[in-house]
Amino acid sequence: MSGKVHRFKEVTSTQDVSRRLLAEGTAREGEVIVADYQTAGRGRFGRVWRSPIGGLYATFICERSRLISIRTGVSLISALERFGLRARLKWPNDVVVDREKLGGVIVEEASGIALVGVGVNLDRSPLPGSTCVSAHGVKIDRDSLLQAISVELSVELGDDELLDAYRASSATIGHRVSVVRDPRTGPIVGIARWIDDRGRLLVETPDGVRPVASGECFHLRFPAVDAGRFARLS
């Protein structure tokens, strides 16, 4: 991604702005929208994404592709690594350091184009249980990180290579997990064994291996014996 960077001070959400600029024809694929802060930043599952000044809030306008969300997660991890911060990915795309969330990715679509929203906490942890870059003794300037992510998104990795990189950065494989796909149905509880070539999480449950294509994943602290008990109770 080496296109124009559209810079804003305040926006509702860079997702909204990118959608509008695309519709007006003033932004196109390969370009990025970045804001100093957002008044209505959004995360996955309709959650609010707190966006005070000092974080990175950007939407990359990308060609839609099967593994775009995975590609973005891997690019974020590689970009952070360039500055000496080793983060990992909680399936599907939460950027975490030591179990605490540092950043996230949301992918939306407009007229067949992917709006890839990236948020990274740089010098503030906006929520309990979240973390930020500076809490790990690292200083990263927003624009340098934006540039590094753009460069990483341009690296041409084949699907196999990409999935290997994703698995290598996974904080989820090997963990006991509870995955909520739809709040109206029970979670899938078991051990996350692998991520397949479609990016699905393969969860080993007492009833066999279940592939999960999307949902929210919680890492459980219970010992193995209790994971089954948790499944029966929930």
* CA atoms within 13 Å, Cβ hemisphere of 78: 20
Shortest distance in whole angstroms from residue 161 CB to ligand BTN: 25
From 82-90, 112-120, 123-131, 223-231, give the range in contact with ligand BTN by CB under 6 A.
112-120
Residue 211: strand pairing partners: 202
Strands (DSSP E) contained in the chain are: 5-11, 32-38, 56-63, 88-90, 94-97, 100-110, 113-120, 176-180, 188-195, 201-205, 208-212, 216-219
Shortest distance in whole angstroms from residue 71 CB to ligand BTN: 15
Interaction pattern, residues 40-59, with ligand BTN; x per rule: CB under 6 A: -xxxx--x-x-------xxx
85's enclosing H/E stretch is: none
Nearer to ligand BTN, 49 or 91 (CB): 49
Shortest distance in whole angstroms from residue 42 CB to ligand BTN: 4
Q: Angle at CA 154, nearest 5°, toward 152 and 159?
A: 90
117 in contact with ligand BTN (CB under 6 A): yes
User: Is there a contact between 210 and 170 (Cβ–Cβ < 8 Å)?
Assistant: no
From 69-77, 111-119, 159-167, 195-203, give the range in contact with ligand BTN by CB under 6 A.
111-119
73 in contact with ligand BTN (CB under 6 A): no
- Helix crossing, 68-82 with 159-168: angle to 10°? 60
Distance CA(128)–CA(142), nearest Å, equals 22
Binding residue for ligand BTN (CB under 6 A) from 61, 97, 106, 189? 106
Binding residue for ligand BTN (CB under 6 A) from 62, 70, 102, 105? 105
91 in contact with ligand BTN (CB under 6 A): no
Interaction pattern, residues 132-171, with ligand BTN; x per rule: CB under 6 A: ----------------------------------------
Distance CA(106)–CA(93), nearest Å, equals 8
Alpha helix locations (H) across 83-136?
A: none
Shortest distance in whole angstroms from residue 112 CB to ligand BTN: 20
